[in-house]
Chains A and B, each alone.
Chain A
Amino acid sequence: MLEFINRMLGRENSSSKNVAKERLRLVLVHDRASISPHMLNQLKEDLIKVISNYMEIDESSLEVNLNQDDREVALVANIPVIKMKRDYAARG
């Protein structure tokens, strides 16, 4: 009944289209999560590049993985920091 009233008032949150979109979004995250090793390597290299601007990291033991569970896919990175770079601006 509430759904019916919502609809009459033009609130579409409970409409089946939004259910479809949300389900699709989830299923596609999973489908697309089979990232190629090549792409994962590129991602690693780019990460190293960016992070190295701020800190010294141990590249040899860096780990980057896509972890999946039922509801979501997460990019999990374990990046050991050796040394922070000095932040001159902060003292400034």
Chain B
Amino acid sequence: MVTSGKGGVGKTTTSANLGTGLASAGHKVILVDTDIGLRNLDVVMGLENRIVYDIVDVTSGNCRLKQALIKDKRFENLYLLPAAQTKDKTAVSPEQMRALSAELKEEFDFAVIDCPAGIEQGFRNAIAGADRAVVVTTPEVSAVRDADRIIGLLEANELRNPKLIINRIRPQMVKRGDMMDISDILDILAIELLGVVPEDESIVISTNRGEPAVMDHSSKAGEAYRRITRRIRGEEVPLMNLDVPDGLMDRLKRLIGIR
């Protein structure tokens, strides 16, 4: 499951990119949108026009799982199970989610569950169905605080060793001392790092188009997601080099020996 607590830090973008990345590596992948009432994974994936049935139709027995699955445009081994848009959060229960996950496990190599923001029923549902958790945060006080709370809740619910993705880091600001860096955040949250994604305009563009950035080889964020995907597959991949070239001031400072 992909979770964060706070909204707007990039859960859905991360889910879309991880799912697409894993599928491009040849795995059979299902993306599950559990944000009932506020579905978004379909538009990020560019599949919004193909929805017939949704997750509530499946859990309530309106249709079979196979009927609700939407095949991706790019990869035939990638599917989406969309959230319901007209129901509310309580339309799926944790038990139903657990049963659904068991069914998905039979069919797919990876099920990427995109969580809603918050710690209410949608979050509890996702926990019920998940084996592993990825926590997304940004280098802001509010997002890191919520991530801390989420990590506590995950561990209290037997989802041990969640992994962290730090999203939207801005190397220039980190260098200036105006943004917390990777080690600051890891110090505070004390969990294992899965990856770091730089702030990147290409994410906006790829979301506009409904094409995950992980397929865009000129995108920095895409590169970061490709590396994260490889780590999920068990490879050891170094963190992306996010250093910014030294400005005039830095060179001057070094010259007069104060750095």
A interface, CB within 8 angstroms of B: 7-10, 12, 15-18, 20-21, 23-25, 27-28, 31-32
Contact = CB atoms under 8 A, between A and B. Distances in A.
A31 B177 contact: no
B178 A21 contact: no
A23 B165 CA distance: 22
Nearest to B254: A10
Contact of B253 (A10, A15, A24): A10
B152 A32 contact: yes
13 contacts: A8-B253, A12-B177, A15-B176, A16-B179, A17-B178, A17-B179, A17-B184, A20-B141, A21-B180, A24-B144, A24-B145, A25-B188, A31-B145
Q: What are the 3 tightest A-B residue pairs by CB atom distance, in nearest-first order?
A: A15-B177, A12-B177, A16-B178
B181 interface: yes
Nearest to B156: A36
B100 to A, nearest CB: 31
Contacts of A23: 141
Contacts of A10: 253, 258-259
Contacts of A27: 141, 145
B26 to A, nearest CB: 40
B216 to A, nearest CB: 30
Interface of B: 140-141, 144-145, 148-149, 152, 174, 176-181, 184, 188, 249, 253, 258-259
Nearest to A22: B141
Nearest to B173: A17
A28 B188 contact: yes
A18 B174 CA distance: 11
A12 B148 CA distance: 25
Contact of A20 (B148, B149, B180, B253): B180
A9 B258 contact: yes
Given A17-B180, A23-B141, A28-B145, 12 more contacts: A10-B258, A17-B179, A17-B181, A18-B177, A20-B140, A20-B180, A21-B184, A24-B141, A24-B144, A24-B188, A27-B141, A27-B145
A16 to B, nearest CB: 5
Contact of A31 (B148, B184, B249): B148
Contacts of B144: 24
Nearest to A23: B141
A18 B181 CA distance: 11
